[in-house]
Structure 1
């Protein structure tokens, strides 16, 4: 299986160098392909070129048996399809056994979002007299104001923020960049954190960093660290409010559409490559459309 792992490493380098994929995406590809390699070992298949369409179908069956979600199975199959496409290009295999494997039909998915009153309760949780409280407030305000992904939030540098124009330079998937505006609440909380809380946090470390969000040791707050911050805030709420960085992103998009923003604008702000990805938010705006219709149609 040694050559299999060499091929995997070569593919991961291709994703980083030629495709400009983020480290997080590359790590996800690596995990998915390693699970497939474990499957090959269990089935005593020694070479990548020996994998057939029947083996690919069997792998999908194994995923079903392990109760993987349809989304996870689709991701794994898409990953392996790309892997074999690369192997075919490099003439390591003569066919792609995953080319004809059908992806499971996706479940209908309605994004979870927060209502205005739930958001207000979140914004009232932080102790703004402490460095971590100021950081958490700035984190919440900025994520809700811009709808950025957690990986994009962790990557923000001080130089990415333009306070005069109230815009944020976001480093998105595939190293694509976009500018996203933010409002007064985010601006004020960022000012407070940068001028006070961040200074105190940075003094705890000898490492010089320009990252916007720092942890309690004064070093860069990671993706996982941001998730933990949000999780702790959720546990502080007296009511059963489920929040995550992605729920804040969903809330950003839903509130914009509810207030009349067009889908193309929301697509650009979210950094979605395809409009179909943004269209999932139209499901949660039906109540608003009904209200507008009832209030304005002459024969409603």
Structure 2
């Protein structure tokens, strides 16, 4: 194993700093890239000085990885070498020697309209007694499915982000990107109920800046606890708990909006996707409707009808 040359780690840090400042990469993304690049340097030494044969050897060392893991590691290295070329640290880009595993984005798990309705009805029934935990869960469920929030965005939602006179949430998503997310009328009503209970839980002695604070602490409800609460609710609603999670509800939000005729660009904005290619995964669920739309609305549909003779018309008559 070749030792990393002095300064190699600082180049990695420079690259990661660029990702954070210029591209707004999230902390989890930066941490994953750091692990991948440091792991590669342990195999082949100084990444800045590596040549094509070194990267070929690295690919062989990684050959036992799953395709998705291998693709992520190779992507990190390709971006690193692009950075090195841009910064004048080297004249060539050796990343062509890295493998290009064929990966396929998995289709999201889906909940039907009926499944979501059963979840909401169960949550509403349990919240009728106005128990704080039940009202909180109903409010969080409404925001997951009604606004398409990520689990992290929801649990870390600041109290100040909840609207007072406008039906929007100010959400900070991946990479610190901010967006406005609409809140339905029914979600606003449940949030108003929850804020009454929140006011009783939060005091000067137990301050919290979060909309959904954890009990007895200044922090917020954890993603793990949210996951557990949803699965427990699914079981009580008679739904297979393994099919339900915060992210599955986000998928349901996107899928059902698209089925209802939402524009893909609008959906991209609502979900906070930086790349529309991420949003396009949802188009598979509505392919039949899209085909019908093309057949019904495309300008050439009338031309086809004009060129098609009535049944029974002879070839001579058409001439």
Q: TM-score range by the shorter chain?
A: 0.7 to 0.9
Deviation at 1:140, TM superposition (A): 1.3
Counterpart position of 2:172 = 171
Cα distance 1:287–1:163, how it changes in 2: closer, same or farther (>3 A)? farther
Q: CA RMSD in A?
A: 3.3
Deviation at 1:104, TM superposition (A): 2.3
- Find the residue that maps to 1:65 and give its secondary structure: coil
Once residues 224 and 90 of structure 1 are traced to their aligned partners in structure 2, the CA distance between those partners, rounded to angstroms, is 41
- Find the residue that maps to 1:98 and give its secondary structure: helix
8 Å contact from structure 1 (residues 48, 93) kept in 2: no
Once residues 229 and 97 of structure 1 are traced to their aligned partners in structure 2, the CA distance between those partners, rounded to angstroms, is 48
Correspondence 1:20 to 2:24: yes
Q: 1:109 aligns with which of 103, 106, 109?
A: 106
Correspondence 1:55 to 2:93: no
Q: 1:35 aligns with which of 31, 35, 39?
A: 39
Once residues 136 and 93 of structure 1 are traced to their aligned partners in structure 2, the CA distance between those partners, rounded to angstroms, is 54
Correspondence 1:239 to 2:236: no
Map 1:22-171 onto structure 2 (within 5 A): 22-38=26-42, 40=43, 45-66=44-65, 68=66, 70-99=67-96, 101=98, 103-107=100-104, 109-126=106-123, 127-128=126-127, 129-171=130-172
**CA distances 1:150-172 after superposition (whole Å, capped 9, x unpaired):** 33324421222224221111222
- Find the residue that maps to 1:48 and give its secondary structure: coil
8 Å contact from structure 2 (residues 26, 175) kept in 1: yes
8 Å contact from structure 2 (residues 162, 211) kept in 1: no
Deviation at 1:284, TM superposition (A): 0.5
Unpaired segments ≥5 residues, structure 1: none
Correspondence 1:277 to 2:274: no
**CA distances 1:30-59 after superposition (whole Å, capped 9, x unpaired):** 233343344x1xxxx332234232333443
8 Å contact from structure 1 (residues 146, 252) kept in 2: yes
Deviation at 1:99, TM superposition (A): 4.7
Once residues 140 and 124 of structure 1 are traced to their aligned partners in structure 2, the CA distance between those partners, rounded to angstroms, is 11
Cα distance 1:100–1:258, how it changes in 2: closer, same or farther (>3 A)? same
Counterpart position of 1:10 = 14
Cα distance 1:7–1:120, how it changes in 2: closer, same or farther (>3 A)? same
TM-score, normalised to structure 2, is 0.76
Deviates more, 1:277-286 or 1:46-55: 46-55
Once residues 23 and 140 of structure 1 are traced to their aligned partners in structure 2, the CA distance between those partners, rounded to angstroms, is 26
Once residues 100 and 116 of structure 1 are traced to their aligned partners in structure 2, the CA distance between those partners, rounded to angstroms, is 47
**CA distances 1:70-93 after superposition (whole Å, capped 9, x unpaired):** 333322221222223334444445
Correspondence 1:253 to 2:254: yes
Unpaired segments ≥5 residues, structure 2: 306-319
8 Å contact from structure 2 (residues 234, 244) kept in 1: yes
Higher relative contact order (CA 8 A, sep 6+): 1
Counterpart position of 2:317 = none
Once residues 273 and 206 of structure 1 are traced to their aligned partners in structure 2, the CA distance between those partners, rounded to angstroms, is 40
Aligned residues: 289
Once residues 5 and 72 of structure 1 are traced to their aligned partners in structure 2, the CA distance between those partners, rounded to angstroms, is 22
8 Å contact from structure 1 (residues 132, 216) kept in 2: no
8 Å contact from structure 1 (residues 201, 215) kept in 2: no
Once residues 133 and 240 of structure 1 are traced to their aligned partners in structure 2, the CA distance between those partners, rounded to angstroms, is 20
